[in-house]
Amino acid sequence: MAKRNAAAHPESLMMSYGYKPEWSEGALKCPIFQTSTFVFKNAKEGKAFFEIAYGLREKGPTEKLGLIYSRLNNPDLEILEGRLALWDKAEAAAVFSSGMSAISTVALEFLRPGDVLLHSEPIYGGTDYLFNHILPRMGVRVVSFSANGASDGIHKALKTLKKGERPAMIFIETPANPTNLLVDIAACAKAAKELSTKNRRVLVAVDNTFLGPLWQRPLEHGADLVLYSATKFIGGHSDLIAGVCLGSQELMTRVRTLRTFLGTMASAWTGWLLLRSLETLKLRMTCQMKNARHVATYLANHPKVERLYYLGSLDPSTPQGKIYQRQCLAPGSVISFDIRGGEKEAFAFLDALKLVKLAVSLGGTESLAEHPGTMTHADVPPAEQKRMGISPKMVRLSIGVENPGDLIRDLEQALKAAA
Ligand SMILES: *Cc1c(COP(=O)(O)O)cnc(C)c1O
């Protein structure tokens, strides 16, 4: 892989980093390596590649793992992983077939029977199901703590652990969906460090789907692993499903090895689409962030909007505002709000939208709206929804790259229709 140009910013490197045209008949763009397997120059080379891939011996100082089989490695994925690592300043990355396959591979690699997993709440529905229904079947105890505004949620959760219990991982999602509540990454990293022993390191994993990799860099705040649903902002066009995990070389070697055996890697075609998406990542996320600012300002002043959940309107003197100042670089483009009334008014608003589409998911070029209470968070029991701050009057918006005036006009006529 090409040497990193230290002077250049990630957005400057997304078009070329890690790819050489002479590999592919001078093609400017990296082709899709739509192949399951790769031809070895000779049997000795095949043997050497497998020795490294399966950890049978240490890699030599200049030796590289060659291409073997697309469940282990593929040029589109390797180039993509090199480029993704630039944004988060990570040593290594691995691309997965979905955000859920990245999260489940990480959970299976680092958790053992008898371990305790601590996680922030609310958390993505699929992650919640994996943690609270599947991991307990394998003897993992799961303890949640609320993203409740202050940095002490994790400490309260740790106090509930019984003597002798082994915390193994703190998994956080920040900002949380759909309330945009922040969890203090540095506070969790500090707690994990204190819990770690010489033989057992407690890891902090952060689902950074909502802000990253442009607006929040968890590794810089002490996290060990960063996870993404690349289906959202990284893919950015609502046309693929993929996931990413990033971290140190040491941890990522373990993650990549389990990925090989679970077969949770992304396909070459998805890898290629993501390479294309990365070229406009900064452009898209910046435009979406600016559009969201216009939309939030409009909503904040609308009489039908009872409450806005937007990072850009946090008061810097509050605990949440302080975490935001320390940890986030911009407020992103997911906004929730409570409409005056209830489910009826929320549905009338959603049904009246024209330019903004009624669909779950987020982070794409088009603006989307949904009703968390009955859609993305429908499987959360009502009492728990209430505790998480999800009410029937809540609507979640993901702002795209459209003209902000057009977006506001659409919201305006839909709010009028919701009367
Ligand atoms: C969508 C999402 C996931 C799951 O990702 P998939 O690509 O749908 O598997 C995980 N975490 C968050 C925060 C998400 O928004």
Same-domain status, 256 and 133: yes
Q: In CATH, what number is assigned to the domain containing residue 380?
A: 3.90.1150.10
Is it the case that residue 28 has pLDDT exceeding 70? Answer: yes
Same-domain status, 405 and 342: yes
Residue 23 lies in a domain: no
Six token digits for residue 288: 């979406």
Q: Which residue from 221, 118, 223 is spatially nearest to 166, judged by alpha carbons?
A: 118
Give 300-331 as a 3 state SS string.
Answer: HCCCCEEEEECHHHCCCCCHHHHHHHHHCCCC
Same-domain status, 265 and 286: no
* Per-residue pLDDT, 281: 98
Residue 325 lies in a domain: yes
Q: What's CA 403's distance to the chain center, in Å?
A: 26
What would the DSSP string read from start to end of 388-401? HT--TTEEEEE--S
* Per-residue pLDDT, 22: 96
- The answer to whether 342 and 376 have CB atoms below 8 angstroms apart is no
Is it the case that residue 58 has pLDDT exceeding 60? Answer: yes
Residue list, ligand 1 pocket, CB within 6 Å: 98-100, 124, 126-127, 173, 177, 207, 209, 229, 231-232, 241, 243
Same-domain status, 342 and 404: yes
Mean pLDDT of 10-18: 97
Q: How far is the CA of 139 from the centre of ligand 1 (A)?
A: 24
Rounded-to-integer distance, Cα 94 and Cα 77, Å: 8
Mean pLDDT of 283-307: 98
* Per-residue pLDDT, 252: 97
Residue 21 lies in a domain: no
Same-domain status, 196 and 224: yes
Q: How far is the CA of 203 from the centre of ligand 1 (A)?
A: 20
* Per-residue pLDDT, 1: 47
Mean pLDDT of 107-118: 97
Is the model more confident about 164 or about 28?
28
* Per-residue pLDDT, 152: 73
Q: How far is the CA of 417 from the centre of ligand 1 (A)?
A: 32
Is it the case that residue 4 has pLDDT exceeding 60? Answer: no
Residue 12 lies in a domain: no
Question: For residue 341, what are the contacts with CB-CB under 8 A and spacing of at least 6?
Answer: 393, 418
* Per-residue pLDDT, 144: 92
Q: How far is the CA of 232 from the centre of ligand 1 (A)?
A: 8
* Per-residue pLDDT, 387: 87
CA-closest residue to ligand 1 atom 7: 99
Mean pLDDT of 22-35: 96
Pocket probe for ligand 1: among 124, 241, 361, the residue whose CB has the most ligand atoms within 8 Å is 124
Rounded-to-integer distance, Cα 107 and Cα 337, Å: 33
Rounded-to-integer distance, Cα 45 and Cα 53, Å: 12
Same-domain status, 213 and 357: no
Q: How far is the CA of 243 from the centre of ligand 1 (A)?
A: 8
| pLDDT over 70, % of the chain | 97
* Per-residue pLDDT, 150: 65
Of 252, 278, 304, the position where a domain reaches its end is 278
* Per-residue pLDDT, 216: 98
Where residue 6 falls among pLDDT bands split at 50, 70, 90?
low
Mean pLDDT of 1-22: 84
Mean pLDDT of 30-39: 97
Residue 75 lies in a domain: yes
What would the DSSP string read from start to end of 2-22? PPP-TTS-HHHHTTTTT--GG
Residues in the chain: 419
* Per-residue pLDDT, 29: 96
Six token digits for residue 325: 């100042």
Rounded-to-integer distance, Cα 397 and Cα 161, Å: 37
The per-residue pLDDT for range 117-139, each reduced to its tens digit, is: 999 988 998 999 999 999 999 99
Where residue 194 falls among pLDDT bands split at 50, 70, 90?
very high
Backbone angles phi, psi at 166, to 5 degrees: -110, 100
Is the model more confident about 387 or about 338?
338
Same-domain status, 128 and 251: yes
Is it the case that residue 3 has pLDDT exceeding 60? Answer: no
The per-residue pLDDT for range 371-419, each reduced to its tens digit, is: 999 999 998 889 989 988 899 999 999 999 999 999 999 999 999 999 7
Neighbours of 21 (CB within 10 A): 12
Residue 54 lies in a domain: no
Same-domain status, 173 and 145: yes
Residue 294 lies in a domain: yes
Same-domain status, 240 and 108: yes
Of 253, 278, 303, the position where a domain reaches its end is 278
Same-domain status, 256 and 298: no
CA-closest residue to ligand 1 atom 5: 99
CA-closest residue to ligand 1 atom 8: 99
Pocket probe for ligand 1: among 119, 120, 129, 209, the residue whose CB has the most ligand atoms within 8 Å is 209
Helix residue ranges, H only, 93-219: 99-110, 125-129, 153-159, 185-195
Same-domain status, 259 and 324: no
- The answer to whether 168 and 116 have CB atoms below 8 angstroms apart is yes
Domain count, the chain: 2
Ligand 1 atom closest to Cα of residue 241: 7
Domain that holds residue 390: 282-418
* Per-residue pLDDT, 225: 98
Q: In CATH, what number is assigned to the domain containing residue 199?
A: 3.40.640.10
Residue 7 lies in a domain: no
The per-residue pLDDT for range 65-74, each reduced to its tens digit, is: 899 999 999 9
Same-domain status, 243 and 178: yes
Of 278, 309, 327, the position where a domain reaches its end is 278
Beta-sheet strands, E only, within 319-379 = 334-339, 357-358, 368-370
The per-residue pLDDT for range 255-266, each reduced to its tens digit, is: 999 999 999 999
Please provide the average confidence, as pLDDT, over all residues in the chain: 95
